[in-house]
Structure 1
């Protein structure tokens, strides 16, 4: 593998190469930017050129973050759920992302670049929670500067080792590609195994929104546990008949609820994953009639809207 074209491009158009690479990566494409920043830093001939590389990286990162921020502001949790569907663990992705954001606030955007998987999902959740734009830009810019600056400085500091590594890749490119392909194959197999395990765990009876609505109106309504995050509950309001709950405090949520009485778990996450995890955990605790809500929060909202429209039409008649 001849690395000369890559190094030549970085020597002549380093800022543009860095800008394009960082922008594409922060938009979600599988094009790692850190290796480019390391190589570009190792080739920087002066502090002024290193400053240009840093400015290009920060600008590209902030542009991408703003796009995701605006998407989150316009479409809310649907953007976050869509991104989390690409995660190895879609169930924990939504809750963990929101948990970090609520716990760290604006600082979550500063550290997001250093947490794998968090860099892309943090900006849309900031938008969905209506974080002030000036605060968002300041935090996103600071995080990008620390992340890109660290990579560029490390590349300059280890410029001899980086250049030696590039020469080794040029001489043994086939071996390097084989190693990369092996690791990629192992990662894909692991992801498929995780997906298989979740699908097997999720193969339990669900309850539909219509069935839940009917059950809530019965003489023995189920305990409805709402596993939406605190921020989403604050944004959209609590659900009638529902008890807010968290996976790590199930005992508090169920209280002294009889173990043979029905329980329904609800979440706002891909594949009803958190609701499924909660249902499985409650079954292990000895609760015999636990069902995740099929379609989760979005399906429940859709049913409520349809019921409201039908009531409005009946009233006009």
Structure 2
């Protein structure tokens, strides 16, 4: 522990920048403890807080900018890879889309304070077509608030944190062992949770794009249900012809009828643009709870497009 604090006192700014950069690029290693330690160090080193703040903000901005660019270039496909990197359940995409619909650009301000939202917000903003200048401005504000808050907390509680570090230092190798066990337990829980979610998603009934198109050609009682997040600021560009939109954010709210005017005897085929069709599965389950017949379009709208099937402008 003494070696760790000594290294931080010598290379603190580099440690802050590297920790933030790695976390924002997707490594499952929290950088907030490093920012708190930077706040502690700032209590005894004049000007260190400013240097650490600038380093953390710039590192986060660079990493977020790369993911935003990836989202613009690769669309929602990059989100599937990010869900794997961040060891998050695939429903993380749906939650982040819902946050953009409810809060808009404010999502970028609060993203780094919400576990699971930080890593996905930048590429999702790119995939949803957010203007570059708007992204850069709001993301910079969010990065600065997050870094500044963590460093300020470390500075205010530097005595308590320093006392905790000294206590851990007395434990020696036992402290490192306990820390390693805590990290492994956390990663193990996240991996287990992801496996459970993926198993539940795989068990739901799906229909291939070609078979779904054949159903539509064969009878008129088939209704496609688009569950992708959308808002006036970030509208959808296209959809499967005749598809109805279902806002997943309204399903858990009391009152109202999300299915008002929908045909009662129709077969519903839900689709999204997310890993493992997570949002579409949730919508199909909800429809079945309402007594409707529902299946999921395997691969979502991207599989439909790859199959060469038609889309219509929204």
TM-score (norm 2): 0.86
Paired residue secondary structure (1:263): strand
CA drift of 1:244 comes to 0.9
The 1-side partners of 2:16 and 2:2 are apart by 17
Alignment match, 1:236: 237
Q: Give the 3 Å change call, closer, same or farther, for CA 233–67 of structure 1 in structure 2.
A: closer
- For 2:20 and 2:83, locate their aligned partners in 1 and report how far apart those are by CA, in whole Å: 21
- How far the C-alpha of 1:130 sits from its partner, in A, is 2.9
Q: 1:24-173 to 2 correspondence within 5 Å?
A: 24-44=22-42, 45-85=44-84, 86=86, 88-91=88-91, 93-172=92-171, 173=173
Whether contact under 8 Å (1:225, 1:253) holds in the other structure is no
CA contact (8 A) 2:16 2:35 kept: yes
2:41–2:48 Cα contact (<8 Å) kept: no
1:286 paired residue number: 291
Structure 2 counterpart SS, 1:225: strand
- CA 256–31 in structure 1, closer or farther in 2 if over 3 Å, else same: closer
State the secondary structure of the residue aligned to 1:95: helix
Report the number of matched residues.
302
In the other structure, the counterpart of 1:223 is 223
- Do the aligned partners of 2:90 and 2:278 also contact (CA within 8 Å) in 1? yes
Q: Which residue of 1 aligns with 2:13?
A: 15
Cα displacement string for residues 247-289 of structure 1 (whole angstroms, at most 9, x for unaligned residues): 3556534735234x422111111111122222222222222x3
Aligned to 1:203: 203
Q: Distance in 2 between matches of 1:24 and 1:186?
A: 18
Q: Which runs of 5+ in 1 are unaligned?
A: 309-317
How much is the aligned-residue C-alpha RMSD, in angstroms? 2.5
CA displacement at 1:129 relative to structure 2: 2.6
Moved more, 178-187 or 29-38: 178-187
For 2:277, the equivalent position in structure 1 comes to 272
**Larger relative helix fraction:** 1
Q: Matches of 2:193 and 2:19 in 1, distance apart?
A: 31
- 1:139-187, Cα deviation, whole Å (9 max, x unpaired): 2222112111111122122222111111111222415633652574266
Whole-angstrom CA distance in 1 between matches of 2:16 and 2:217: 59
- Worse-superposed segment, 95-104 or 9-18: 95-104
Distance 1:103 1:256, change over 3 A: closer
What is the distance in 1 between the residues matched to 2:41 and 2:160? 12
Following TM superposition, the consecutive aligned residue runs of length 4 or more in structure 1 with deviations greater than 4 angstroms are 248-251
Q: Given the superposition, is the C-alpha separation of residues 95 and 219 from structure 1 closer, same or farther in structure 2, using an over 3 Å criterion? A: same
CA contact (8 A) 1:113 1:143 kept: yes
